[in-house]
Amino acid sequence: MSGFDDVNYHFRKAARVMDLSPHVERMLVTPFREVKVDVSITLDNGELGTFIGYRVQHDKSRGPMKGGLRYHPTVDLDEALGLASLMTWKTAVVNLPFGGAKGGIAVDPDTLSPRELERLTRCFVQQIHDIIGPQTDIPAPDVNTNAQVMAWIMDEYSKIHGFSPAVVTGKPVDLFGSKGREEATGRGAVFALEEHLRGAGLGEVRGRTFAVQGFGNVGSWVARFLHERGGKVVAVADARGGVANPEGLDIPRLVEHAKRTRTVAGFPGCDAITNEDLLVLGVDVLVPAALGAVITDANARDVRARIVLEAANAPTTPKADEILAQRGVTVLPDIYVNAGGVTVSYFEWAQNIQQFMWEEDKITAELQRHMREAYATLARLVRERSVSFRTAAFILAIGRVGRATVLRGV
């Protein structure tokens, strides 16, 4: 199935439990707007570089649409459709006043110089500036984009529309960004795990073993927070390789190694491990924190972790999800687990609208409150409906978006 089909599979599974009518189902699934644009720039060597950009706006019933921009060769309309719809359900699960959107550019940013990357970003903004905005659609960082890219977007949009810091989130703190935003997704994921461990009577992070796939912004922060809480991260992998140590990795030193070499591979005192082998290690908690569709029907039966903490977007395919459920593996779903990023993005947007900076302790406390309240509701739905956490998350989100849609008037 395609990425959009995968999301809608879970949507329809929840819709059947809710006895949702076909008309309402179709209305909630159908995207509000799909945009595909040509992004052409002059490269440093004088040649013309032509790239395709996308922005899919899925739903706006609960507020301005919200979602990241990724720069990756695999970006296409279907991927954007699936991720935009995930954002609709994700923002609803943690009860943010946002809808969902997603997009990006089909490009390998490693092939571009910093000046080319800036030109590409500014050209993309020129193509989509009339459909984004602080009260319309608010982009954010995603795969291969960062605070600098968001700063360029804010600056280019402001040239056209006037000073507009709230047009994007994930900006540098020195340019109207929020404290705590960089680590927000990883911190939120660990809060989600802690809520589940407490709620299920399983104790705490300390002493448990973890394998983390992905060591970018999300995975590296997850590993840091787990390490700080006494968790034993025994394996980490990224796109270039992986490392494992059954006694636990020295995460602070690994972070420095990865910053210096741009990979975790080659970290001294460890064994090499592949991404595929990491997914089936005998650990307490598996944390997929890279790209989607890494747990599939081909490897789900070999996953030995008892908890899968989905810090990435859509890391588990529908068939794999069914296999894990049959085997008694608890999957804490992406639309809850990695909602910490969009939650702190909401705080950044609110600060920009207010033109008032929050302190980091307030941001952390508010993030923990959102994750705790969402988990309490999900756990109640799991008990009352006898469903998985993923289905419970979709039931919660569909209910909130559906009520908003009906109240606004069809």
Judge contact between 316 and 289, C-beta under 8 A: no
Which residues of the chain form CATH 3.40.50.720? Answer: 178-349+359-410
pLDDT band at 1 (very low <50, low <70, confident <90, very high): low
Query: Global pTM?
Result: 0.94
CATH 3.40.50.10860 positions along the chain are 31-175
Nearest to 343 by CA among 226, 169, 212, 152: 169
- Domain spanning 31-175: which superfamily? Leucine Dehydrogenase, chain A, domain 1 (3.40.50.10860)
How large is the average pLDDT for residues 326-351?
97
The pLDDT, as a whole number, for residue 256 is 97
Tokens of 71: 């720069």
Residue among 280, 284, 339, 289 at smallest CA distance from 315: 289
- DSSP bridge partners of 271: 244
Element (H, E) at 59: strand 48-59
Share of the chain above pLDDT 90, in %: 96
pLDDT in tens, 44-57: 999 999 999 999 99
Gap between the Cα atoms of 37 and 385, Å rounded? 43
pLDDT above 70 (res 190): yes
> Per-residue pLDDT averaged across 240-246, rounded?
97
In the prediction, which pLDDT does 385 show?
A: 96
Share of the chain above pLDDT 70, in %: 100
CATH number for the region 178-349+359-410 comes to 3.40.50.720
Task: Supply the pLDDT for residue 244.
Answer: 98
Beta strand pairing call for 33-42 and 48-59: antiparallel
How many Å separate Cα 122 from the centre of its chain? 24
Mode of pairing for the β-strands spanning 232-238 and 241-244:
antiparallel
Q: Which residue has the tokens 């970018």?
A: 216
Average pLDDT, the chain: 96
Indicate the pLDDT class of residue 3, thresholds 50, 70 and 90.
confident
**Residue showing tokens 């809710």:** 18
What was the pLDDT predicted at 291? 83
Spatial distance between the Cα atoms of 312 and 180, rounded to a whole number of angstroms: 19
pLDDT tens by residue, 116-173: 999 999 999 999 999 999 999 999 999 899 999 999 999 999 999 999 999 999 999 9
Helix (H, G, I), strand (E, B) or coil at 235: strand
pLDDT one-digit tens code per residue, 95-113: 999 999 999 999 999 999 9
Active site residues: 102
